[in-house]
Structure 1
């Protein structure tokens, strides 16, 4: 089973981090949430649990969601259902978890999942992420990060910073590099198998950052909400709002979850 951490007391809230799934930087967010929830933070590659530096293969969305289901099976008390927060690539896994393993879910919030294939210009957007990957392979993570920012902001890229390809050992030791090498392309190519939400099933809220308005992933989240018949909400900050505004982000998220508390 993939590694996970547990803190707090209350209803179970599963957190699926973005990037390569490393929960670095999420402590302030999960600490605030732990005042109201039993927060279970999922680490699909075990990067924060002793496996950073080991070889990593190209990742599959379904493998992350299957691991998340195993974690829920281990931590959920009998008869209870979980809240779920997924951010970025973790939000893609959260959507797959909802589509394929909905039985013990209560409410899923997917924050800025990069499922751009659902957009009318999805093929072009997917190609842009592939160019980010190609930039990473040619010039390293800093150059790729600059290109990725331009893709998310839907603008022409700036001049690519000088860089070089990483060695295999360097790549294995960097969560950012692992994301660019093994997560970015398969997760941005994923098409959620969502059907219209039903009143008897788990709730779904697509979320985007307040400062992401006008950007690619805000548009993607709104499109997914329409496609799935789910709700749409804005959370503080932008794509990294969970890291940059953890208390405000947690409090707004709690409000969203409380709106679906058992009646």
Structure 2
């Protein structure tokens, strides 16, 4: 299923944000970090049957250029961008679905801009700082970043997947990240390693601010993610917030791999409360 997509740009301090709108109805935003708008397109097409769906490239990624390419990408900064987009589009308060680093973005949005959102679905946030082995994870993250910046992307990715608890088939890493690659993908990858991964994974949400903001917070976990870092972090977050947990089809990228069952699970969660 495909639907009409309107493409726009919004200037915000230090960046120009690429965003896309599909459909009509209650507003829902689908947010990644570093994933761009294209990753959410199949899910957005399905939800657009009865929602206005906003997708976007985060600042510094693909079609959202920065004034300063070396600017750090923090959940708070990305949340400010998302608040500006939601206000610009209108139709809020909105439901917001964020996956991975995007889950950190939507939690920061609910803390700092509660007027923009009624429901937050934080799908598999990589909140390593909530885990008992945070110090080991922090040291591993620093080494992974250093390897990447020293010119060893395969070594960095090998460390990343090991730390995340994700097993890849033999040869998959080389197929994904070796050989000739799209320069744009490489630029986005470098930005993530150099300026985003640590700021997102060691960001810590503020439970008091989230409760005071009034948005409903739902923690999403992939049915196939058991034992992975994001599964552990998501469960720690749900316990910290006493939040509802919803199990979604697939693993960390279930919305890419199985958009139809994923949409069927997400749709009732994002309905506006009466």
**What TM-score does the superposition give when structure 1 sets the normalisation length?**
0.84
Shift in CA distance, 178/198, structure 1 to aligned 2, threshold 3 Å: closer
Equivalents in 2 of 1:41, 1:242: separation in Å? 14
**Is the Cα contact below 8 Å between 1:22 and 1:175 reproduced in 2?**
no
| Structure 1, gaps ≥5 residues long | none
Q: CA deviation at 1:37?
A: 1.2
1:153/1:173 Cα in 2 relative to 1: closer, same or farther (>3 Å)? closer
Alignment gaps of 5+ in structure 2 = 1-11
Asked whether the equivalents of residues 22 and 46 of structure 1 are also in contact (C-alpha less than 8 Å), the reply is no
- Taking a change above 3 Å as real, the CA distance of residues 46 and 197 of structure 1, as seen in their structure-2 partners, is closer
Does residue 226 of the first structure (1) align with residue 231 of the second (2)? no
2:33 corresponds in structure 1 to 18
Aligned to 1:88: 100
Q: For the Cα contact (< 8 Å) 1:16–1:86, is it kept in 2?
A: yes
Shift of 1:190: 0.6
Output the CA distance in 1 between the equivalents of 2:206 and 2:113.
Answer: 12
Displacement of 1:112 in angstroms is 0.9
How many Å apart are 1:196 and its aligned residue? 8.0
Match in the other structure for 2:3: none
Q: Find the partner of 1:146 among 143, 158, 169.
A: 158
Alignment of 1:57 onto 2:68: no
TM-score calculated relative to the size of structure 2:
0.81
Other structure's SS at 1:232 match: strand
* 2: CA distance, partners of 1:23 / 1:42: 5
Could you say what the CA RMSD is over the residues aligned between the two structures, in angstroms? 3.0
1:172 touches 1:178 (CA, 8 Å); kept in 2?
A: no
2:268 is aligned with 1:262 = no
1:109 paired residue number: 121
Q: Please name the residue that 1:5 is paired with.
A: 20
**Preserved contact between residue 76 and residue 82 of structure 1 (Cα < 8 Å):** no
Write the distance in 2 (CA, Å) between the matches of 1:148 and 1:103: 36
CA distance in 1, matches of 2:149, 2:212: 46
